[in-house]
Every structure is written in structure tokens, then in C-alpha cells.
Amino acid sequence: MRDVAFQALEEARTAKMIGSGLAAHVRVFVEHDGARRSLQQLNASANGVDELRYLFVTSQVTVVDSAEAAVGQHVTRQQLEGLGTVVAAVAGASGTKCERCWNYSEHVGHNHEHPLLCERCSPVVAKLGFKLPATAASSA
């Protein structure tokens, strides 16, 4: 499945739609019901580690319930043994690029103490005790 996604990402890079995978949102469909449900559960992981975006090295991944729902500007479709049809579609990631991890997130700017960071980086930087200088915080 990862190879199918990487092929779609490479097509998007070649077309200059994205520069890096972190600028992408991949929508994935897997015909095999059990595998699709497992991917959906993995993608909803609350531990912040097992999400599919880290496997695909993208900012966002959505597991969809039909091949038609796998929409994007670059679509790759393959038959994989044991999984049936696998479709990966690439669209641009939504949100703003985090200054720390470079992932795109709709949560960048939500933390007033760290307005340039995403929901994952803000607590890490806060735990490290970093505070923006007053002039930098007011201009951000």
C-alpha cells in the first residue's frame, strides 16, 4: 500500500504540485474490508505515533470507504494480492506549515504562546520550557 501511495506522491512531485510529501494529503482506499477497517483504526490512533501520515511521510491521510472517494489530482490504482484494489490519491495538504516539524496542520496558530507550531509541537516546546521573546510573540 505504501508503494501505491509513493507512486501517486511521485507523480504529484513530478507535476510540481508538491515539493515534499509533507505538502500532501493522501486519500487511500483498500478493497479488502478488514484491511481498510484496520487502517482506519490505525489512522485514528490517539498516541500520535501510529498515524498513517507518518507511514506515508505526509501531513494528512484519510482512509476512504470507496474507490470513488479517493479523489485528488494524482491517483494511482493497483491490484495487490490479498487486498484487492488499492487506490491512493494525492491532493494538497490543508492548513499551515508548522515551523518546527514542517507538517501542515489546521491547528497552527491555535496556541497563542507558540503561534507558529502545530498541535503536536506546541506541547513539546512548552514542556522544554521554551518561551518566545516578547517581540517575537507579538509579531507572530
Confidence at residue 100, expressed as pLDDT on a 0 to 100 scale: 93
**80, 43: one domain:** yes
Q: Which amino acid is at 79?
A: Q
**116, 81: one domain:** no
Which residue bears the cell 504529484?
A: 12
Stated pTM of the model: 0.84
**83, 124: one domain:** no
Instruction: Quickly state the pLDDT bin for 44 (edges 50, 70, 90).
Output: confident
Which residue bears the cell 509513493?
A: 6
Task: Give me the count of residues in the chain.
Answer: 140
Q: Which amino acid is at 122?
A: S
Q: Which domain holds residue 27?
A: 2-92
When pLDDT is averaged across residues 61-83 and rounded to a whole number, the result is: 93
Instruction: Quickly state the pLDDT bin for 135 (edges 50, 70, 90).
Output: very low
Q: What percent of the chain clears pLDDT 90, i.e. is strictly above it?
A: 69
**71, 15: one domain:** yes
The cell for 66 is: 470507496
Domains identified in the chain, total number: 2
Which of 70, 20, 79, 77 minimizes the C-alpha distance to 10? 20
**77, 21: one domain:** yes
Instruction: Quickly state the pLDDT bin for 130 (edges 50, 70, 90).
Output: confident
